[in-house]
Amino acid sequence: MNRKLPVAVLGATGVVGQRLVRRLACHPWFELTTLAASERSAGKRYADACAWRLPGEPYAGFADRPVVACDAARIDEPLVISALDATIAREVEPALARRGALVCSNASAFRMSADVPLLVPEVNADHVDLVLAQRASGSRGAIVCNPNCTTTVLVLALKPLADAFGIDAVSMTSLQALSGAGWPGVASLDATANVVPFIGGEEEKVEEEATKILGAFTSAPRPAIQMAPFVVSAQCTRVPVVDGHTEAIGVKLRGAPSQDAVVAALRAFRSPFLDLELPSMPATLVRVHDANDRPQPRLDVERDDGMSVHVGRVRRCSLLGIKFIALGHNAERGAAGGALLNAELLVRKGIVS
């Protein structure tokens, strides 16, 4: 690649947007050329528009860059990464796709649309061909989505088991980090030394997105996803953790494999899409912990730039057969890094160039 591909980030001032900016500041393929945000921010310097909340160098070197509005007519990059809220995404993203842009969206607006691929590249990179369905309906560009952060961690932990055994049922209770709610997000009076046992819309998202991602792509009669045939039941809670969603998962696997067989499958797992060699893919995707008190968000979530998932405490479940703990970085693997990985996939597949 001789020169870097220009990329626009929508929602650049939010907590996911900040992580996108930081990742793009040193990306081997991409050059961040447009920082877009709400009308309120438009025209300001990035440093003035943005309550930067990441450790390290503030504004990742973009302090003086101007912020523009999320106006489809004024954003002409071929590749756009969107960290917009769903309600705004619903308007802006299709307008950009019509204009010809490939939009990698972190928003929930179009995740379950029949012709939108819901991608975690190591899990279902083949679903990307669903963009053909969008183009068949006349769009020059296309929208691809990454799933909800909680879903992302779940499907990455389930993928090795789906491949090795097949899944019949899934139960999941999440202990989700504060950064998943953005900034200002959860009020500190609610989050301090407390649990909030509700996150609006989260359980529904997890339950439906997971079966789409782990479903099968079929090209004929037309490109489509056949949902995976298992049930997912989710309970989502918020806990006083900064980054990292912990998930207590129970799973019913075909053939009722032993605990040892499950651990072996997790350790042996290599993504079938590893040969894509996307720059943001971690070398080790699923880290299996031996210590019985791991993974822990504060100790484990930043490994591999937050792009791996962690599994621990794999053991027998009297109800579903196997239970374990999973952990992943909601704001990186489950948001900024996930959206960026999708952008890399589009380039590798030649869908954008």
- Interface positions, 147-186, toward a copy of itself (CB under 8 A): 169-171, 173, 175, 178-179, 181, 183-186
Active-site entry in 149, 289, 310, 329: 149
Binding segment toward a copy of itself, per CB under 8 A, in 1-9, 37-45, 94-102, 294-302: 294-302
- The answer to whether residue 127 is catalytic is no
What does each C-alpha distance from 207 to 83, 112, 273 come to in angstroms?
22, 11, 24
- CB-CB contact of 341 with 123 (8 Å): no
293 sits near a copy of itself (criterion: CB under 8 A) = yes
- Interface positions, 49-68, toward a copy of itself (CB under 8 A): 53-57
17 sits near a copy of itself (criterion: CB under 8 A) = no
- The answer to whether residue 145 is catalytic is no
Omega before residue 221 within 30° of 0, cis: yes
227 sits near a copy of itself (criterion: CB under 8 A) = no
Q: Rounded to an integer, what is the distance from CA 115 to the centroid of its chain?
A: 18
Binding segment toward a copy of itself, per CB under 8 A, in 96-104, 196-204, 221-229, 332-340: 196-204
248 sits near a copy of itself (criterion: CB under 8 A) = yes
The radius of gyration computed from the CA coordinates of the chain, to the nearest angstrom, equals 19
Single out the residue of 80, 239, 341, 352 in contact with a copy of itself (rule: CB under 8 A). Answer: 239
Q: Which residues contact 77 (CB under 8 A, 6 or more apart)?
A: 6, 7, 8, 33, 34, 101
Active-site entry in 27, 245, 289, 310: 245
- CB-CB contact of 176 with 203 (8 Å): no
Q: Rounded to an integer, what is the distance from CA 150 to the centroid of its chain?
A: 8
What is the bridge-based pairing of β-strands 167-176 and 231-238? parallel
Helix (H, G, I), strand (E, B) or coil at 82: strand
Of the pair 73, 319, the CB lying nearest a copy of itself is at 319
Single out the residue of 106, 124, 146, 246 in contact with a copy of itself (rule: CB under 8 A). Answer: 246
Helix (H, G, I), strand (E, B) or coil at 225: strand
Per-residue exposure over 199-222, b if at least 16 CB sit within 10 Å of its own CB, e if not:
beebbebbbbbbbbbbbebeeeee
Residue type (1 letter), 88? I
45 sits near a copy of itself (criterion: CB under 8 A) = no
What does each C-alpha distance from 121 to 87, 273, 339, 343 come to in angstroms?
25, 7, 10, 10
Query: Whole-number minimum distance, CB 335 to a copy of itself, in Å?
Result: 14
Query: Whole-number minimum distance, CB 256 to a copy of itself, in Å?
Result: 15
95 sits near a copy of itself (criterion: CB under 8 A) = no
Query: Whole-number minimum distance, CB 41 to a copy of itself, in Å?
Result: 17
**List of residues contacting a copy of itself (CB under 8 A):** 15, 53-57, 169-171, 173, 175, 178-179, 181, 183-198, 207, 231-233, 235, 237, 239-242, 246, 248, 250, 292-300, 302-303, 312-313, 317-320, 323, 325
* Active-site residue list: 149, 245
